[in-house]
């Protein structure tokens, strides 16, 4: 029983808690039926969100799946506890590339593919947008890279593959809540200029032998590149990258 000196406020503000949660975008009817883990709430748009604080600043994690948000929250707390936390707004493209390669690519792609990705980054990203903050990269920055590659004479297939690598890298950053959108999705691959007449076909075994013999005699500096391509079926761009990096390692 409430004493005579106590003031009951529930009749004055019956929905104050619900109103606050709705204002924050955190209230949904399902919250009455499902108890969520501490620090995690359900937004009106159906996404889960978790908030944490580091050095006086609040960070928010979003996700459609509860387990995904829980994992991201655990990872963030682990990084904070072990002194390896990097503020999203401080991460550069170069920093994220290294993290992406080490944590998401090195164990799933072939060694030659990893070498190719690192070469792409070194020659087209590192000194262009590499020092930019990851959150500051816009579609026009990516588009400028693609357009420059076309001007420099790169094959459309190589440009398309380069764009695909960038897309995957920025997509992972988006999934990790480091950026609010993937800038690569808003770009277009430079149009391939079709040449009149002619068609493509593979060389016969005899033609390959003849080609390699003349390569040894006339262009010995390129012979290894051609031998590697014929022996493995590797695309000329990939083979060139591998040989170039091998040369750099021996110098």
Let me know: does 76 contact 70? Beta carbons within 8 Å.
no
Among 32-41, 146-155, 211-220, name the most confident range: 146-155
pLDDT computed for residue 133 by the predictor:
93
83 to each of 76, 77, 96, 98, 152, how far by Cα in Å? 11, 10, 17, 18, 43
Name which of 23-37, 56-70, 195-209 the model is least confident about: 23-37
Cα–Cα distance measured from residue 33 to residue 120, given in angstroms and rounded to the nearest whole number:
51
Mean pLDDT for the stretch of residues 226-232? 73
Cα–Cα distance measured from residue 6 to residue 75, given in angstroms and rounded to the nearest whole number:
46
Where is pLDDT greater, at 84 or 7? 84
How many residues are there in the chain? 251
User: Which residue stretches of 4-155 are H helix?
Assistant: 16-23, 66-81, 93-100, 111-124, 139-151
Where is pLDDT greater, at 88 or 55? 88
pLDDT computed for residue 223 by the predictor:
74
Closest to 158 measured CA to CA, from 236, 229, 247:
236
Where is pLDDT greater, at 237 or 102? 102
- The pTM (predicted TM-score) of the whole model is 0.52
Concatenated DSSP letters of 83-123: T----GGG-BHHHHHHHHIIIIITTTS-HHHHHHHHHHHHH
Cα–Cα distance measured from residue 95 to residue 132, given in angstroms and rounded to the nearest whole number:
10
80 to each of 76, 83, 110, 235, how far by Cα in Å? 6, 5, 32, 44
pLDDT tens for each residue of 120-171: 999 999 999 999 999 999 999 999 999 999 998 888 888 999 999 999 999 9
Cα–Cα distance measured from residue 161 to residue 39, given in angstroms and rounded to the nearest whole number:
41
Please say if the pLDDT value at position 6 is more than 50: no
Q: How far apart are the first and last CA of the chain?
A: 87
Cα–Cα distance measured from residue 135 to residue 91, given in angstroms and rounded to the nearest whole number:
8
pLDDT computed for residue 182 by the predictor:
95
Q: How many CA atoms lie within 13 A of 218 on its CB side?
A: 7
* Domain 16-85 fold: Double Stranded RNA Binding Domain (3.30.160)
Per cent of the chain over pLDDT 70 is 71
Instruction: Indicate the CATH number for domain 90-186.
Output: 1.10.150.130
pLDDT computed for residue 59 by the predictor:
78
């Amino acid at each position: 029983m409430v004493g005579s000196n106590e003031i009951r406020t529930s009749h004055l503000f019956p929905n104050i808690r619900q109103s606050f949660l709705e204002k924050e975008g955190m209230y949904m009817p399902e919250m009455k039926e499902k108890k969520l883990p501490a620090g995690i709430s359900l937004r009106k748009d159906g996404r889960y969100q978790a908030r944490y604080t580091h050095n006086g600043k609040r960070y928010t994690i979003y996700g459609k799946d509860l387990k995904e948000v829980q994992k991201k929250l655990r990872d963030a707390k682990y990084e904070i506890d072990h002194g390896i936390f990097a503020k999203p707004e401080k991460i550069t493209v170069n920093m994220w590339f290294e993290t992406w390669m080490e944590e998401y690519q090195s164990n799933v792609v072939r060694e030659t593919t990893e070498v190719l990705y690192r070469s792409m980054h070194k020659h087209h990203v590192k000194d262009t947008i590499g020092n930019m903050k990851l959150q500051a990269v816009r579609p026009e920055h990516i588009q400028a890279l693609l357009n420059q590659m076309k001007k420099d004479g790169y094959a459309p297939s190589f440009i398309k593959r380069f764009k695909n690598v960038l897309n995957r890298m920025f997509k992972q950053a988006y999934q990790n809540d480091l950026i609010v959108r993937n800038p690569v999705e808003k770009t277009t691959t430079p149009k391939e200029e079709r040449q009149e007449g002619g068609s493509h076909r593979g060389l016969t075994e005899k033609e390959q032998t003849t080609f390699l013999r003349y390569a040894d005699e006339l262009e010995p500096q390129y012979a290894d590149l051609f031998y590697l391509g014929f022996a493995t079926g590797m695309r000329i761009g990939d083979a060139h990258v591998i040989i170039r990096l091998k040369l750099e390692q021996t110098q």
